[in-house]
Amino acid sequence: MRQLKVCYLSRSLSSVQKAVEEALHFGYQINPDALKLLQKLAERRRAKPGESEPSLDIIVRGVIDKKAKEDLGQAIESNDLKEMYPELFDFVEVGQVRVEVSVVEKANTTNKPDVEIIEDPSFDIQPTGVEGFSQLFKSRYEKIVRILMERPEARQLTKISKVNMEKGNVKIAGLVFSKKPTKTGGLEFTLDDDTGNTSLLALSPEAKKSASDIALDQCVMVDAEAVQGKLIVKNVIQPDIPNKLASTSKKTVYAIFLSDLHIGSNKFMDSAFNRFLEWLGGLGGMLNEEDEEIIRRLKYVIIGGDVVDGVGVFPNQEYELVEQNIYKQYEMVSEKLKLVPKHLQMFVIPGNHDATRQALPQPMIPRKYAESLYSLPNMRMLGDPCLFKLHGVSVLAYHGRSLDDVLATTPGLSYEKPEEAMKVLLRARHLAPIFGLRTPIAPEIQDHLVIDEVPDIFHTGHVHTVGYERYKSTLMINSGTWQAQTGYQANLGISPRPGIVPIVNLATIEITWREFLTSTSVSSKQVV
């Protein structure tokens, strides 16, 4: 196989050389842009040998004959080739990115985008002063108690102020205010509701296990027994997501999930992203039969934040940037994304490197910074987090800032498996249950971070590692990054997994991926 590839490579190089010699023989020069087109055509033929097409020297001779008859000068340009042989040069070249149109034109355009935006905080944000935190936590408590009340065991919930501390079983719900081990090896925590607070003791191994899994500020239900003025925990019940059937598309439609482009950083992997754009545009030499089927039925591209590296996000960041102007960084993003075929609907939410407020929830990136993105005809800008449906399949898109806090405070979790931290958020039914650590949360009248509706797909980014797993009915995806390892990540021992693209079939909620790290490493994998 290797010898065969070398043979085809030699043949393609010699064919270009013959074309150049043919032009020189008749006194013509081939301009660099035209030469690139000939080289690309030779590469395509190497990828698909055996196709019956005129040789490159015959192509050049045809152009020479036309130019000689019409006295069009002695230089062969790319337009001469495209006008003479449009069926051969059916791809365009923009910078270093080639996008072939033949496969894309065959896309199943009968499946038009079917989008329903369910929740977007951009237009619902109601910031208040510091006093608003009491409203925020009141909203969190009320929303999650409503979720808990859907459980049969929650029908006997008692307010903390009504608990008989002397005897009897009791079920209470509230926010975890504090948690600490006891001197005797137990675990003590304090629970708050809207009537007061109380202390609880987890003593048995089962009770300590269920209590240790909860986070500060999380809303939970506790099954306890009152014994001589103390509440002894029997079980801690998290809101969690129920088992249900996931919604699926009636037609076979694909969605791509990206995040953390970090364009503007000197660590942005430009070549890998260009290869992805070429694949997305249907570059024949990179597509197998399965790829062509995906490209024909692809409808959506979701980008989960940090599309730029930003400016002033961390100390000395200017030394890691190739562009220090935030407006120009977004223009660089637009130059890339405008190569995405127009029949694909794109969505962009912000991340902590984007030019919008840092506290959650984040409104969409303001138009004044990213006008070039807003001008793309197939772009939809949204806030973080947001919930929407694609062909009837619900997607919860969240950049994932709070994953840092979950990973730092939950024993046994690591950046290598971000899906385990995502599972913690689904069980808590909240996207940032821990308050006061690395995740800034704005004082709002409503808590927009409660997971009211269970999504079919839960998509995050932020941590720059790839992970996916099905938890009950929800497919969890963390889509990695397009930025190589930074010095900050190296100090933390974080090894990013860049250049990987998760692809979901919305008709089956099955996931595959393609990897674009090198020109020969496009691969796929499926998970159940």
- Asked if residue 267 has pLDDT above 90, the reply is yes
Inter-residue contact 428 to 436 (CB < 8 Å): no
What is the per-residue DSSP string for 13-48?
HHHHHHHHHHHHHTT-EE-HHHHHHHHHHHHHHHHS
Q: Considering only residues 460 and 182, tell me which one the structure prediction assigns the higher pLDDT.
A: 460
What are the residue boundaries of the structural domains of the chain, listed by start?
2-89, 115-123+243-527, 151-237
Among 62-71, 454-463, 480-489, name the most confident range.
454-463
Distance CA 496, CA 221 (A): 37
Helix ranges (H only) for 166-304 are 205-212, 270-280, 289-297
Instruction: Determine the pLDDT at residue 92.
Output: 43
Instruction: Determine the pLDDT at residue 367.
Output: 95
Instruction: Quote the strand ranges of 280-392, DSSP E.
Output: 298-303, 345-348, 379-381, 386-390
Element of type H or E holding 225: strand 219-227
Q: Mean pLDDT, to the nearest integer, of 209-231?
A: 90
Distance CA 22, CA 33 (A): 17
CATH of domain 151-237: 2.40.50.140
2-89 to CATH, choices 3.30.70, 1.10.10, 1.10.8, 3.40.50: 1.10.8
Q: How many CB atoms lie within 10 A of CB 503?
A: 17
Residue recorded with tokens 């046994």: 412
Instruction: Say whether domain 115-123+243-527 belongs to CATH 2.40.37.10.
Output: no
Q: How many CB atoms lie within 10 A of CB 104?
A: 20
Q: Considering only residues 400 and 89, tell me which one the structure prediction assigns the higher pLDDT.
A: 400
Tell me what the pLDDT averaged over the chain comes to. Answer: 86
Q: What is the DSSP letter of 93?
A: E
| Token reading at 323 | 């562009």
For residue 350, say if its preceding peptide bond is cis, omega within 30 degrees of 0: no
- Asked if residue 192 has pLDDT above 60, the reply is yes
**Given this chain, do its domains 115-123+243-527 and 151-237 carry the same CATH topology?**
no
| Token reading at 372 | 């070039």
- Asked if residue 106 has pLDDT above 60, the reply is no
- Find, among 247, 361, 309, 298, the residue nearest to 112 by Cα: 298
Instruction: Determine the pLDDT at residue 436.
Output: 87
Q: Mean pLDDT, to the nearest integer, of 191-195?
A: 93
Distance CA 271, CA 253 (A): 28
- Asked if residue 490 has pLDDT above 90, the reply is no
Question: pLDDT tens digits, residue range 302-340?
Answer: 999 999 999 888 888 888 899 999 999 999 999 999 999
Instruction: Determine the pLDDT at residue 519.
Output: 65
Q: What is the DSSP letter of 504?
A: E
C-alpha distances (whole Å) from 500 to each of 275, 276, 309, 371, 426 are 11, 9, 19, 28, 24
Question: pLDDT tens digits, residue range 357-384?
Answer: 999 999 999 999 999 999 999 999 999 9
The reported pTM is 0.80
Q: Mean pLDDT, to the nearest integer, of 450-464?
A: 96
Element of type H or E holding 236: strand 230-237
Residue 431's pLDDT band (cuts 50, 70, 90):
very high
Distance CA 107, CA 140 (A): 45
Percent of the chain with pLDDT over 70: 89
Instruction: Determine the pLDDT at residue 524.
Output: 61
Instruction: Determine the pLDDT at residue 1.
Output: 36
